Structure 1
Amino acid sequence: MTRHLLRLLAARPGPQLLLGACWTLLRTTLLLTGLLLQAALDALADGSGDWGHIPLWAGLLAVNEAARLALWYGLVLPRLEPEYTYTVRAGLQDRVLAALLARPAGAAPRHPTGEVVSRLGGDADEVGVFAIWSASNVARLLVAGAAVAVLWATDVRATLALVALIALVTAVGRALGGPVERHRAASRAAAGEVGTRVAEIVGGLATVRAGRAEERVVARLAVANAVRRRAAVRDEVLTSLQGAVLRATTALGTGAVLLLVAGQMRAGRFSLGDLALFLAYLPFVTEAVHTLGTLPGRIRQAGVSLDRLAQLGDGPARLVTPAPVHLRAEPPPPAPPPPRSPLERLAATGLGYRHADGQRALSDVDLTLTAGSVTVVTGPVGAGKSTLLRLFAGQLPPTEGELCWNGQRIDRPQEFLVPPRCGYLPQDARLFSGTLRENVLLGRAADEHAVRAAVRLALLADDLARMPDGLETVVGPRGQRLSGGQVRRVALARLLLRDPELLVLDDPLAGLDIDTARALWTNLRTRRRTLLLVAHEPWVLGEADALVELPRA
């Protein structure tokens, strides 16, 4: 993954170089501070009693510090670092989400929801932080090289001893790096497991209550939380221990310098200014050796995070390609829907589908839908009715055969069979947290008349009349404040608002009383829409232009 990390950094060279240059200037001001202190203390300690230069030294130190603070608080901290890290992070999240959304909607997800959320958060953050870490540490190594050169010119023996001591302590700290990485990975995995279980509980509250399983569900969550807590504690303890070892280098280095130069100071070969210079430059050497020691681990850690994100998307090569990010301006408007292609005929030839495990779900389906026709799919449970509808709606990629729209082969059904060409209503219709209006529109720009017309066709008008807030009624997470029938009809109104050429409906009349079912069927048949649906009502079968009866699998 190192190659892909470098490609990710090279994809945006401007921010990387600018941030590195600013960090170099920041640390150069600290180098100047050490040199100014050396000159000032040596001038004061020469015994001449000339204190006239004190205002000059003080003024130079003040100007140097003011420049450092202005650069740090005026540019690096509030603008460059956050903008760069969030640009990298948002670009990765954009690529991953684009890959997830490009997959057929009916395909089984590869990772649990909680794990996906954890990776989009924690792993994207890790790579974003690595981006600014790499820029700052290149500058740190460059300036540290200059600092070592100055110290070498001042006292070779003290410089060698100082570097050796710091390298030894850093090696001890680095030895803890392996356990730290393992426990950090375990902590993140445990956090992802907790997130997944919380998402499952929230999504299945009705099932939990119906089964009186509240205590068992809470107990399982408590076990997962206990695992996460133990992993987090181990991670924090080892990280703190590693940090304590590395921080001890400053104190040890100071002591080593004092011991080494004490005799030379008594002999007058090592001045007070030289001591101040060594103490001022000690952090540079410490940070540089620490950076070199932790560099392999940080690269591996960022590489693991990049790999986890790549597993969600289409691989690392596409993931590191820069995506447009709009942090300081409104993003451009979304792409318009595809042009309407009036349906004349949608033909399937030898259509089939196999699950990921190789099991055949459907095979050798030859079926043609013509404009304005009603095609009803029937068959026993497990015959593949829903699979057939998903194939015609672009929700699943055919593993056999082909689909042709008006004689033209459809190469990517998941991108072609979308409104206004095709609309799909599954059995388990989903809503989002928000209002009824937001769930019907889903970001679409539509006038009030069109929304009301879709609501009326979906037989939601009477339900809205009983709701004090009407279309502004909040539906709760996944529509939990509505009945199952209301959820399906809100999803149907969302579909009808887009007025697709082909409606693919999976048992749209299930659970409705006879009068409501007939009224909804009448609304669906207005404008002679082309329908492909699963239905079992005899009067619907009687109105069908074609019946497709699937055999038992």
Structure 2
Amino acid sequence: MKGYRYIRRLTGYRFWLFALTLPMPFIFYATRLIFGLVLQNFFNALAEQHQMTVTAWLWIAVLPLSALLRGGISQLLARAQVLHSFSIVGLQQRNLFMHILERPGTYARAAGETISYFRDDTQACRDLLSLLRTVLGQVFFAIVAFIILLRINAEITLLVFLPFLAIIAIIQSLKERLSRYRQVSRSATANLTGAIGEIFGAVQAIQVAGAERHILAHFDGLNQKRLAFMVKDAVLTSTTNALFSNTVDVGVGFILILLAVSQSMTRLGPGDIAIFVSYLGSMGDLVLFFGTLLAQFTQTQVSIERLTSLLRQAPQSKLVEHHPLYLQGTLPEFTVDNKAELQPLETLEVKGLSYRHPESGRGISQISLRLQAGSLTVITGRIGAGKTTLLQVLLGLLPKDAGSILWNAQPVLDPASFFVPPHSAYTPQVPHLFSESLQENILLGLPADAAALSSALQAAVLDEDLAQLPQGLATAIGTRGLKLSGGQAQRTAAARMLVRPADLLVFDDLSSTLDVHTEQLLWQRLLQQPGRSYLVVSHRRSLLQRADQILVLKEGCLEACGSLEHLLATSVEMQLLWQGKLD
């Protein structure tokens, strides 16, 4: 999608609001035209009468009225533009955030870097549209003012457009450099903000490793790079703006000199001079804003490309899909689908599932499996075998390259929207927690059901930990669950799963940070949950012994499948894993 198509699609969102703001600049500049005509008539009338007449006093009365009219229109324009600008920025941010939620497995940028995209790049189109509206109003003003001034003095009026042509030539010569400087400055800012997010998220690791000096040196290096690029970007932008304004000023000064010369040759009234001065300033603004518009369009193209890079394989049009934004009134209630309307799991079948990471080329190839309701299936293998990738592709967190997924023999066409409660629930290897209370982290918007919450806490072996927390469920757990131990964080994520009705529970190495006793108690309680099926990544012996079937992965392929007893007898890879001879 070209940049202009992207912007056209964006302006179509709440078009009535955009249409409301579009005539405002025209009305504003129409009042400016009227103001200039009032000045002309006032000074000409004053010069002809040589004293204050009734006509002169009437024109004096009209002057503040026209100024007040311009001020009122400016206020209306500002309110409408703010609402429209907020809507188009919010729409892009909403769509971008929704894509990240739908495909979290494809998203690998740091949180701080992402903020730069959400904050800076989504506002580029807003700035461009705001400039476009202003320029359209100024073009209208320039055409009408040109006709009026042409009738007063054709020679002087024609010279108004010389600065305009100079600005276009300057912008075209700087277009490529503006784009390149904006790209590198935005990338440097994203790298710096990303580093800030990573540093705050790894404070303990930095302190334990004694790496403060190294981290500060790295941060300083990123900051210096950003400073250098930002200075280049700012200097070029300021230079072009200075060229715009100075070209306009020189042009206007030159025109006024000609006007003074012309005064000795042709009789121009003081009102004619006043209207020239009044209109030329606004027409000079057109030259300035038109040049800025061309530069802004180039910079907006860069922002659109940066936003598109976050989509990976999704089409660019996804960023400007029209969806409601709830800016006023109450938010819609969060609802959970009724499980009675859904078909309970009987079998889950995967055939020839494949995916390759674009950056590394690694992934999974031709994985097939069959899972029965009420069973425990464990996926195991050495580090980098593709275990987590298999789960993410199955759940739709990564887009499959090939293969099919069937739920009760029916194809699953959109795994990302299908494998959510009440069909499935998932806990990743690294739990995602928020700086809220323990209860809010578990419920995440669900209405508080004391019985369901208590059952989830008991099954996740969190009931005893509550007594150690100062405020129980109301305890704030800190950024990313910093106040919890690794095991508590994993069990909090498990409780989040269990409080929601789901047939299939998917765990990615849930018990990796648990002690032996807690791990055994956790799985004992989990496997007692009625109506649940389990798909688990693990290398723990206790869980492998409980498994109904085990999938052994090696270099992204299914090496072997079967019971533990069968695999220990037939699979060399399983034997090495069992003996602890592989990572």
The normalised TM-score by structure 1 is 0.91
Cα contact 2:244–2:287 (8 A) shared by 1: no
Cα contact 2:135–2:290 (8 A) shared by 1: no
Match of 2:546 in 1: 543
The whole-number CA distance in structure 2 between the counterparts of 1:235 and 1:96 is: 26
The whole-number CA distance in structure 2 between the counterparts of 1:349 and 1:167 is: 64
Cα distance change of structure 1 residues 358 and 402 upon mapping to structure 2, 3 Å threshold: farther
Shift of 1:176: 5.0
In the alignment, which of 38, 41, 48 is matched to residue 40 of structure 2? 38
Match of 2:157 in 1: 159
Shift of 1:118: 1.5
Match of 2:466 in 1: 464
Cα distance change of structure 1 residues 262 and 318 upon mapping to structure 2, 3 Å threshold: same
Match of 2:301 in 1: 303
Is 1:377 aligned to 2:379, yes or no?
Answer: yes
The whole-number CA distance in structure 2 between the counterparts of 1:395 and 1:266 is: 78
Q: Which amino acid aligns with 1:133?
A: L
Cα contact 1:113–1:196 (8 A) shared by 2: yes
Cα contact 1:374–1:532 (8 A) shared by 2: yes
Aligned-partner SS, 1:63: helix
Shift of 1:374: 2.1
Query: What are the equivalent positions in structure 2 for 1:43-442 lying under 5 Å apart?
Result: 43-73=45-75, 75-77=76-78, 79-103=79-103, 105-107=104-106, 109=107, 111-165=109-163, 167-168=165-166, 171-172=169-170, 175=173, 178-249=176-247, 251-266=249-264, 269-313=267-311, 314-334=314-334, 336-337=336-337, 339=339, 340-356=342-358, 359=361, 361-442=363-444
Shift of 1:50: 4.6
Cα distance change of structure 1 residues 173 and 499 upon mapping to structure 2, 3 Å threshold: closer
Cα contact 2:345–2:408 (8 A) shared by 1: yes
Match of 1:18 in 2: 20
**Structure 1 residues 476-485 or 13-22, which shifts more?**
13-22
The whole-number CA distance in structure 1 between the counterparts of 2:534 and 2:163 is: 78
Match of 1:519 in 2: 521
The whole-number CA distance in structure 2 between the counterparts of 1:165 and 1:388 is: 62
Shift of 1:394: 4.0
Cα distance change of structure 1 residues 168 and 533 upon mapping to structure 2, 3 Å threshold: closer
Aligned CA RMSD, in angstroms, stands at 2.6
Cα distance change of structure 1 residues 112 and 58 upon mapping to structure 2, 3 Å threshold: same
Question: What does the per-residue CA deviation read over 1:525-551, in whole Å, with 9 as the maximum and x for residues that have no partner?
Answer: 223432222344544444333333444
Shift of 1:55: 2.5
Match of 2:562 in 1: none
Bigger relative contact order (CA 8 A; separation at least 6)? 1
The whole-number CA distance in structure 2 between the counterparts of 1:435 and 1:181 is: 45
Question: What does the per-residue CA deviation read over 1:32-86, in whole Å, with 9 as the maximum and x for residues that have no partner?
Answer: 111111111111112443533333112111211111111212x112x21111111
Shift of 1:169: 6.0
Question: What does the per-residue CA deviation read over 1:370-421, in whole Å, with 9 as the maximum and x for residues that have no partner?
Answer: 2222223344444444344444444444444322111112122222111111
Match of 1:532 in 2: 535
Query: What are the equivalent positions in structure 2 for 1:446-457 lying under 5 Å apart?
Result: 446-457=448-459
The whole-number CA distance in structure 1 between the counterparts of 2:116 and 2:346 is: 45
Cα contact 1:354–1:362 (8 A) shared by 2: yes
Cα distance change of structure 1 residues 27 and 451 upon mapping to structure 2, 3 Å threshold: same
Cα distance change of structure 1 residues 16 and 448 upon mapping to structure 2, 3 Å threshold: same
**Structure 1 residues 429-438 or 50-59, which shifts more?**
50-59
Q: Which amino acid aligns with 1:43?
A: A
Cα contact 2:131–2:289 (8 A) shared by 1: no
Match of 1:476 in 2: 478
Cα distance change of structure 1 residues 513 and 303 upon mapping to structure 2, 3 Å threshold: closer
Q: Which amino acid aligns with 1:127?
A: C
Cα contact 2:438–2:477 (8 A) shared by 1: yes
Cα contact 2:379–2:550 (8 A) shared by 1: yes
Shift of 1:171: 4.5
Shift of 1:467: 1.4
Aligned-partner SS, 2:322: coil
The whole-number CA distance in structure 2 between the counterparts of 1:205 and 1:444 is: 32
The whole-number CA distance in structure 1 between the counterparts of 2:306 and 2:128 is: 15
Aligned-partner SS, 1:348: strand
Shift of 1:226: 0.9
Shift of 1:463: 1.8
Cα distance change of structure 1 residues 20 and 412 upon mapping to structure 2, 3 Å threshold: closer
Question: What does the per-residue CA deviation read over 1:109-136, in whole Å, with 9 as the maximum and x for residues that have no partner?
Answer: 2655444322221111111121222122
Cα contact 2:248–2:284 (8 A) shared by 1: yes
In the alignment, which of 483, 489, 492 is matched to residue 490 of structure 1? 492
**Structure 1 residues 204-213 or 151-160, which shifts more?**
204-213
Shift of 1:12: 4.4
Q: Which amino acid aligns with 1:269?
A: R
The whole-number CA distance in structure 2 between the counterparts of 1:333 and 1:247 is: 53
Q: Which amino acid aligns with 2:151?
A: A
Cα contact 2:183–2:302 (8 A) shared by 1: no
Cα contact 1:427–1:507 (8 A) shared by 2: yes
Cα contact 1:144–1:285 (8 A) shared by 2: yes
Shift of 1:148: 1.0
Aligned-partner SS, 1:511: coil
Aligned-partner SS, 1:356: coil
The whole-number CA distance in structure 1 between the counterparts of 2:328 and 2:214 is: 47
Q: Which amino acid aligns with 1:189?
A: S
The whole-number CA distance in structure 2 between the counterparts of 1:480 and 1:227 is: 31
Question: What does the per-residue CA deviation read over 1:131-187, in whole Å, with 9 as the maximum and x for residues that have no partner?
Answer: 222122111101111011111110011112233245436745765555444333322
Cα distance change of structure 1 residues 193 and 549 upon mapping to structure 2, 3 Å threshold: closer
Q: Which amino acid aligns with 1:131?
A: L
Question: What does the per-residue CA deviation read over 1:14-43, in whole Å, with 9 as the maximum and x for residues that have no partner?
Answer: 233321211111111111111111111111
Alignment size in residue pairs: 549
The whole-number CA distance in structure 1 between the counterparts of 2:39 and 2:538 is: 87
Q: Which runs of 5+ in 1 are unaligned?
A: none
Cα contact 2:132–2:293 (8 A) shared by 1: no
